[in-house]
A and B are shown apart, each in its own frame.
Chain A
Amino acid sequence: MKKLPVYTESIPGGAIVATNLEAVLNFGRSKSLWYLLFGTACCAIELMCTGASRYDFDRLGMIFRASPRQADLIIAAGTITKKMAPRLRRLYDQMSEPRYVIAMGGCTVKGGPFYYDSYSVEKGIDHIVPVDIYIPGCPPRPESLLEGCLHLQEKIRKQKLSEWQEK
C-alpha cells in the first residue's frame, strides 16, 4: 500500500482511506499484466521457465494469455525474421490500448548474433513496434525478465490517464 498515494483518516473504530482514481487504476493494471505468447526462439525457453514454478510469473499477477485481444503486454522472445515481422505487427495491432512491448534477448533488441551476414533477420523490433522495455542477454536469465517486468510495472504506475491514447 506504500506505493499508492493514499490519505488515511483514523476515526474511532476504523479509518477512512482516500486516494485518486488514476492511482487505483494504474495499481490494478500494473499488478495484472496478461502477456501475449510470442516466443520464436531460444528466449522462449527462458520465458517458459519464468512462467514455471521455480521463478513463478504468477506472483506478479502475470499469466499467459494466448489471445491478443485480452493481453496488455507482448513479450517478443526470440529472433524476428523479416517474414515474421508483419505477423508481429498484426498481433500488436489487435491488442487493445493501453498496450506494452517487452523486447527480450539480443535477437529481438538488435538482431543478436544475426546482426552480421544475415539477410533474413530484422535488426531490432523497434523497426516494427514501439518497445517499452529492452532486456539484453543471449538469452537473458529469468531473473532479467522478472526485473524487466518490475520496471514495466513501475512505468505503468507512473502513467497518467491522459497518456493512455497517445501511442
Chain B
Amino acid sequence: MTQQELTAYIQANFDGKLTLLDTGRAEPMFEVKPEDLVDTARHLRDDPQLKFDFLCNLGGVDTRQRLEVVYSIASMTKHLRLDFKLALGYENPSAETITSVWPAANWYEREMNELYGIEIRNHPDLRPLLLPDDWDQGHPMLKNWDAPDFIRMPEL
C-alpha cells in the first residue's frame, strides 16, 4: 500500500473521524477529535488492512495558538507509517489515555503530562518521569515557560 492508497483508504473507511490536513508535505497528517481518539486508535490497530501495531512516538507541540498531541504509529507487518494529531486548547488541556490500545504510550503520556501540563484522563500511573520529584516550577516545554535560572538563547 502506497502513501496515496493509505490516505484514500483511511478517508474511505474511517467515516470522517480522521481529517486529512493540508500541510504541504509529502506525508499525510490527519487530525482526530478528542472524543474519537481511543475508538479510532483501536480501529487503526485492529483493521486487517492496516494493523498499526506499534506506537513509534507520542509528543506534544506548543504552536503558541494551541497545544497539540502528535501520534506516530507504524505497522510492522504491513510496513506502513501514519501520523495523526489531536488539537487541544490552552485552557485545561486534557486527553484520554491510549495505553489501552498501545501500552507503549504509558511513559510518553507521563512525560507529556509533566512537560506540557496536558492532563491524561484514566492513565494507570501518572507520576513524574523526567523532572525532579519536588518540581514546582510548572511545565518547561511550554513556549511561555520561565524560571529564575532559565536563560533563553539570545536572538541573533
A residues adjacent to B (C-beta < 8 A): 82-83, 86, 115-120, 123
Partner of A83, one of B130, B149, B151, B153: B130
Chain A residues whose C-beta falls within 8 Å of the C-beta of B149 in the assembled complex: 123
Chain A residues whose C-beta falls within 8 Å of the C-beta of B150 in the assembled complex: 118-119
> Is the pair A119, B140 in contact by a Cβ cutoff of 8 Å?
yes
> Is the pair A115, B131 in contact by a Cβ cutoff of 8 Å?
no
Q: Is B64 an interface residue (CB 8 A)?
A: no
Q: Is B132 an interface residue (CB 8 A)?
A: yes
Cα-based distance from A123 to B148 in the complex (angstroms): 12
Q: A119-B140, A120-B140 are in contact. Are A82 and B132 (CB under 8 A)?
A: yes
> Is the pair A119, B145 in contact by a Cβ cutoff of 8 Å?
yes
* Residues of B within 8 A of A (CB-CB), count: 13
> Is the pair B152, A117 in contact by a Cβ cutoff of 8 Å?
yes
In the assembled complex, 20 residue pairs joining A and B whose CB atoms fall closer than 8 Å, in A order, are: A82-B131, A83-B130, A83-B131, A83-B132, A115-B151, A116-B151, A116-B152, A116-B153, A116-B154, A117-B151, A117-B152, A117-B153, A119-B137, A119-B140, A119-B147, A119-B150, A120-B131, A120-B140, A123-B149, A123-B151
B residues adjacent to A (C-beta < 8 A): 130-132, 137, 140, 145, 147, 149-154
Give the interface SS of chain B, mostly helix, strand, loop or mixed: loop
Chain B residues whose C-beta falls within 8 Å of the C-beta of A82 in the assembled complex: 131-132
Q: How far is the CB of A165 from chain B (nearest CB, A)?
A: 32
- A-B pair number, CB within 8 angstroms: 25
Closest residue to B115 on the A side, CB-wise? A119
9 closest cross-chain pairs (CB), A and B: A119-B140, A116-B153, A83-B132, A117-B153, A116-B151, A82-B132, A119-B150, A117-B152, A123-B149
Q: How far is the CB of B154 from chain A (nearest CB, A)?
A: 8
Cα-based distance from A82 to B154 in the complex (angstroms): 23
Q: How far is the CB of B129 from chain A (nearest CB, A)?
A: 10
Chain A residues whose C-beta falls within 8 Å of the C-beta of B137 in the assembled complex: 119
Chain A residues whose C-beta falls within 8 Å of the C-beta of B145 in the assembled complex: 119
Q: How far is the CB of B75 from chain A (nearest CB, A)?
A: 34
Cα-based distance from A120 to B151 in the complex (angstroms): 12
Cα-based distance from A120 to B131 in the complex (angstroms): 7
Q: How far is the CB of A125 from chain B (nearest CB, A)?
A: 14
Chain B residues whose C-beta falls within 8 Å of the C-beta of A117 in the assembled complex: 151-153
Chain B residues whose C-beta falls within 8 Å of the C-beta of A115 in the assembled complex: 151
Closest residue to A116 on the B side, CB-wise? B153
Closest residue to A127 on the B side, CB-wise? B149
Q: How far is the CB of B150 from chain A (nearest CB, A)?
A: 6
Closest residue to A123 on the B side, CB-wise? B149
> Is the pair A120, B152 in contact by a Cβ cutoff of 8 Å?
no
Cα-based distance from A116 to B151 in the complex (angstroms): 5
Cα-based distance from A83 to B135 in the complex (angstroms): 9
Closest residue to B134 on the A side, CB-wise? A86
Cα-based distance from A115 to B145 in the complex (angstroms): 16
